Amino acid sequence: MPVWLQGKLIEKKQWSAGLVSLKFSTNRPLKFTAGQFVNVGLDTNETTVSRPYSLINTPHDPLLEIHFNVVEEGLLSPQLAKLAIGDNVKISERANGLLTLDEVPDVPNLWLLATGTGIGPDRKSTRLNSSHTDISRMPSSA
């Protein structure tokens, strides 16, 4: 059974009819590495519906940020898109995932390719100082 942090919606941006960014504060700090994801959940009826979302903020930012496409028939994304400032969500206490720069082999050039909301983790990774000081070029479309 997952352990949850209490998240509160602080900022919401509607980029288009189906693309939303949300920023949350949490009741406790969340340690994570750029490129990891958390589960975000809402209580519905007698259960919690949750889905994984990549964090697009850096680990040093005070707020956690996600962005996502609204799936009209989805169980969670339409509900997240309807949240108002101050509404509460659940955020997994532990971040997961290996899409981190620490997992990239030592290479002279690093290309990060993404489409849609996948650009979020790429943009974040290019803004961070990484342990890969030997990467001479890290082009990004963002």
Identify residue 137 by its one-letter amino acid code. R
pLDDT at 141 over 50: no
Q: How far apart are CA 131 and CA 101, in angstroms?
A: 8
Q: Give the distance from CA 99 to its chain's centroid.
A: 12
User: Hey, what are 42's tokens?
Assistant: 């809402």
Q: What is the DSSP pairing of strand 47-54 with strand 88-92?
A: unpaired
Tokens 């956690």 locate to 64
Q: Is 134 left (phi over 0), alpha (psi -120 to 50) or beta?
A: alpha
- In angstroms and rounded to an integer, the radius of gyration of the C-alpha atoms of the chain is 16
pLDDT tens-digit profile of 3-24? 999 999 999 999 999 999 999 9
DSSP-derived 3-state class of residue 63: coil
Q: Over range 81-92, report the average pLDDT.
A: 97
pLDDT digits (tens, 9 = 90+) for 34-79: 888 999 999 988 899 999 999 999 999 999 999 999 999 999 999 9
CA distances 62 to 3, 83, 115, Å, are: 20, 20, 27
Q: What is the pLDDT of residues 89-136, one digit of tens each?
A: 999 999 888 777 676 777 787 777 766 555 555 444 444 444 444 444
Q: Is the pTM of this model over 0.85?
A: no
